[in-house]
Amino acid sequence: MHFLPVRPGFFVFLHFFFDQISIEVKRTEIKHALLSEDFEQEIKVMGWVRTKRTSKNVAFIALNDGSVMHDLQLVVDLEKIPEESLALMHTGASVAAFGKLIPSPGSGQRVELAVSSIELLGEANPDEYPLQPKKHSLEFLREKAHLRFRTRTFSAITRLRHAMIFAIHKFFNDRGFYNIHSPIITASDAEGAGEMFQVTTLKLEKLPFDENGEIDYKQDFFGRKANLTVSGQLEAELAALAMSKVYTFGPTFRAENSNTSRHLAEFWMIEPEVAFNDINDNMDLAEEMLKYLISYALENCSDELQFLSKRQQEEEKNKKPEDRSMELIEKLQFVLAHPFERITYTEAIDILRNSNYNKKGKFAYPIEKWGADLQSEHERYLVEKHFKKPVILTDYPREIKAFYMKQNDDGKTVRAMDVLFPGIGEIIGGSQREEVYEKLLQRMEEMHIPLESMWWFLETRKFGTVPHAGYGLGFERLMLFVSGMTNIRDVIPFPRTPLNCEF
Ligand code: 4AD
Ligand code: MG
């Protein structure tokens, strides 16, 4: 065995090597730090300062890294670390801190970090940083959408939103559904409603015209008029008529100029489509899915829900008791515990027509006759005042529903279903589909659906057609319900609404 002579330079190298190791200690996420039992090892945490308070010999910094609802309390002994080195660590600044976890003597947290060294990563000048630790209105935060993830409310919503996305895929995967990516750019109008965003590469200042003086879309990118999709349903139907059980989960776009707290111009929709299912199977699937998602949130997001519940109570504390919402967690458990009421549109119209609300003129749109489209005030009356639980309405007049819905034998109604939720109104819209070629063709003609661009949809009814059904869940409407938030702009990171496309 040979011993290499150890030269002085080697010690310098070793020293340098260990220095590097301490710098390269891996970051511990605050989520893991808060649960850790290891009080021996030095750990490194990194995040953003929520608050800092300094007393005579010690400073406390509440640090959050978004991994979890709670902050980690950093305890800085000012006799070891000079106060000046913390001077720039204001709310919003980013820092890295080393130290050992210790059981916390204070109430409010199980462990805290006894800081051995701390480094400023990026400052946040308190004269400029807009999110100082005080209450901000949701309207104000919408104007700061680039920073609002840093607030407790939006980080809670972001984690909850992620959990719901994951749960949706899990729900369908566990039941043997296949996920389909339906196209975002399409040449067809799935809902026949006409409120679409056009996609074009034509120069708007220099449009080409044909011999009839019409815009010549042959010269456009796709050689035809194209739009952003309003729904992935039609393509999901094509897939279901081979794969049996499919679902889409994608962005959808509607150019309706409705500035309400429940409408977005860009929103996410979950659209299952199932071959061999009828309207009753469709209702069962919708109810099972909604209950699954709610129980998933209760089981996996309890910190977020508790926080959001307190937030809601705080927000509503100046309201009269009878105007306050049911406590959030209680509301979610209530929905789980009760079967949804299932009634027909015709029954709903009778209830609404005979209601005190209607008689006393409390509806902005009084219900006079069968055939009226239901407004959200009517939907909410049925859910919140009459049945006091979620309601599934079926068999709507065919005049107010889309062309693809299965026609009932009465010649007046279609096998539509809308799921109505308290505080939301319509959360799901769906139907059994018309699978009979002649009937579908006739309805498309009556409703002036351009047949030449929908030949492929019709062909599925020519070749091996089967009964099938599906629905669309508005993801942000689900998020409104589960979070207890009241404006849809606050449950999506970057809302797109009329005149609003900043971030
Ligand atoms: O009722 P809708 O228009 O149904 C469809 O698009 C069908 N193609 C679905 C299907 O059968 N596969 O929309 C479905 C749901 C609504 O119930 C609502 O929750 C949501 O999508 N939604 C919106 N959410 C936010 N902003 C908007 N502008 C929305 N429009 C519909
Ligand atoms: Mg609808």
Q: What is the pLDDT of residues 204-213, one digit of tens each?
A: 999 999 999 9
As given in the structure block, the two tokens for residue 482 are 């589960």
Q: How far is the centre of ligand 2, averaged over its atoms, from the C-alpha of 122 (Å)?
A: 47
Neighbours of 243 (CB within 10 A): 16
Task: Return the amino acid letter for 177.
Answer: F
**Ligand 1, pocket-test mutation among 180, 186, 269, most atoms within 8 A of CB:** 269
CA distance linking residue 219 with residue 234, whole number of Å: 26
Q: Considering every ligand atom shown, identify the ligand nearest to the alpha carbon of residue 477 and give its number.
A: 1
Instruction: Sort strands 468-474 and 425-432 into parallel, antiparallel or unpaired.
Output: antiparallel
pLDDT at residue number 190: 73
Which helix (DSSP H) or strand (DSSP E) does residue 396 occupy?
Answer: strand 391-397
Higher pLDDT, 107 or 220: 220
Mean pLDDT (the chain, rounded)? 94
- Whole-angstrom distance, CA of residue 338 vs CA of residue 417: 19
Which residue, by CA, sits nearest to atom 18 of ligand 1? 474
**Phi and psi, residue 329, nearest 5°:** -70, -35
Residue nearest to atom 20 of ligand 1 (CA): 474
Between the CA of 363 and the centroid of ligand 1 the distance, in Å, is 24
The answer to whether residues 492 and 267 touch, using CB atoms and an 8 Å cutoff, is yes
Percent over 90 (pLDDT), the chain: 88
Check if the beta carbon of residue 90 is closer than 8 Å to that of residue 109. Answer: no
Does the pLDDT of residue 413 top 80, yes or no? yes
Average pLDDT over residues 291-303: 98
* Element of type H or E holding 12: helix 8-23
258 pLDDT band (50/70/90 cuts)?
confident
Per-residue pLDDT tens digits for 108-120: 889 999 999 999 9
Task: Give the tokens for residue 25.
Answer: 């200690």
The reported pLDDT for the residue numbered 310 is: 97
- The residue contributing the CA closest to ligand 1 atom 22 is 474
d(CA 81, CA 78) in angstroms, rounded, equals 5
**Rounded to the nearest whole angstrom, what is the distance from the C-alpha of residue 433 to the centroid of ligand 1?**
16
Residue 5 has pLDDT above 60, yes or no: no
Residues whose CB falls within 8 Å of the CB of residue 498, separated by 6 or more in sequence, listed in order: 257, 259, 265
Residue 263 predicted with pLDDT over 50: yes
Q: Whose CA is nearest to atom 2 of ligand 1?
A: 429
**Mean predicted confidence (pLDDT) in 219-240:** 97
Return d(Cα 29, Cα 6) in angstroms, integer: 40
- Token duo for residue 491: 């449950």
Measured between alpha carbons, how far is 201 from 261 in angstroms, rounded to an integer? 33
Side chain identity at 431, as an amino acid letter?
Answer: S
Instruction: Tell how strand 72-77 and strand 111-122 pair up.
Output: parallel
pLDDT of residue 109: 86
Return d(Cα 398, Cα 314) in angstroms, integer: 44
Asked whether 246 and 236 are in contact (CB, 8 A), the reply is yes
State the pLDDT at residue 1: 46
Which residue lies with its CA nearest to atom 3 of ligand 1?
429
Dist. CA 405 → ligand 1 center (Å): 15
The gap between the terminal CA atoms of the chain, to the nearest Å, is 67
15 pLDDT more than 90:
no
Question: What average pLDDT score do residues 180-196 get?
Answer: 87
Handedness of CA 367, 373, 375, 376 (dihedral sign): positive
Structure-model confidence comparison of residues 204 and 192, the more confident one:
204
Give, using CA atoms, the residue closest to atom 1 of ligand 1: 429
pLDDT of residue 265: 97
Output the ligand 1 site: residues, CB below 6 A.
190-191, 231, 233, 254, 263-264, 267, 269, 271, 426-430, 470-472, 474, 476-477
Under a CB-based contact definition with an 8 Å cutoff, are residues 186 and 226 in contact? yes
Tell me: pLDDT of 189 over 80.
no
- Joined tokens for residue 444: 């498309």
pLDDT at 27 over 80: yes
